[in-house]
Amino acid sequence: MRVPKLIVFDLDDTLADTAGTILARAEREAVEALVAQGLRTTPEEASIALREIRDRDCAAPFLPLLVERFGAPDPAACVAAGRRAFFGNDARGIRPVPGATETLAALAARGIGLALLTFGVRATQERKIAELGLDRFFSRVRIIDLALGSDKTIALAEMIREAGLTPVETWVVGDRPPGEIRAGRELGAFTVRLRRGEFASLDPAGPEEEADRTIDTLPALLDMLCWQPVAEGPPRA
């Protein structure tokens, strides 16, 4: 394992404590949107069902499953309304995961390039980035819009190429095995899974989703690097 020239981070539940701050509100707003779009139940019943589905399998496609269970006059429109509400929620109150600022500062102080690759509704993701106050650390930020699908491989390859680097010089850090971990592995980057948040209980579907390393807290990333003293003093770990 070599010290990377670039680390590409995921945002939600990697740098942002999405699950601990805004996830419950996003779920509630998604349920309300489903009911407003004709889901044949009450928001309370739908919320209980949502909890059952997600507690059993955090990666289950809960919006289509809710529409399937309760029914709606236009199922596709109902799912779409739920998705818009879930991913387009108000990012107010989102916070960084513990140690995020210190970790990014320490990595930047080592001269490692930092980039951010995230998926969702553009305006919401931009609001989250601004609210977290972490954007100053990133030389590159890329948001994959919800409408364009969730595959991160192409965007990741482009970001690495635009930085003038190759995947073997890059680390990919994220929380979702089928998301950025799979994309990073596919390209040959070194992958680090932060096992926390919304998808903490999700096991890799196969070796293609298995990260090279798994950590429980973001600052543990610093322990994986071989630190050399810097001019202004030891790194803040």
- Among 13, 17, 27, 29, indicate the residue that binds Mg ion (CB under 5 A): 13
Q: Which is nearer to Mg ion, 37 or 118 (CB)?
A: 118
Q: Which is nearer to Mg ion, 10 or 27 (CB)?
A: 10
β-strand partners of 116: 9, 141
The 98-137 contact track toward Mg ion, x by CB under 5 A, reads: ----------------------------------------
In angstroms, give the least distance from the CB of 179 to Mg ion.
Answer: 6
Q: Which ranges of 2-74 does DSSP label H, i.e. alpha helix? A: 18-21, 23-36, 43-56, 62-70
* Distance from C-alpha of 25 to C-alpha of 29, rounded to nearest angstrom: 6
**Residue 184 tokens, joined:** 């990073």
140: part of which helix (H) or strand (E)? strand 140-145
* Distance from C-alpha of 16 to C-alpha of 89, rounded to nearest angstrom: 15
- Among 4, 10, 70, 81, indicate the residue that binds Mg ion (CB under 5 A): 10
β-strand partners of 144: 119
**Residue 133 tokens, joined:** 């106050």
Query: Which residues in the 161-180 window bind Mg ion by CB under 5 A?
Result: 175
Q: Which is nearer to Mg ion, 46 or 116 (CB)?
A: 116
In angstroms, give the least distance from the CB of 30 to Mg ion.
Answer: 17
φ, ψ of residue 42 in degrees (nearest 5): -95, 160
Count interface residues toward Mg ion (CB under 5 A): 4
Contact status: 209 vs Mg ion (CB under 5 A): no
* Distance from C-alpha of 187 to C-alpha of 195, rounded to nearest angstrom: 21
In angstroms, give the least distance from the CB of 78 to Mg ion.
Answer: 25
Q: Which is nearer to Mg ion, 12 or 29 (CB)?
A: 12
Q: Which is nearer to Mg ion, 167 or 197 (CB)?
A: 197
In angstroms, give the least distance from the CB of 218 to Mg ion.
Answer: 12
* Distance from C-alpha of 30 to C-alpha of 191, rounded to nearest angstrom: 31
User: Where do contacts with Mg ion occur on this chain (CB under 5 A)?
Assistant: 10, 12-13, 175
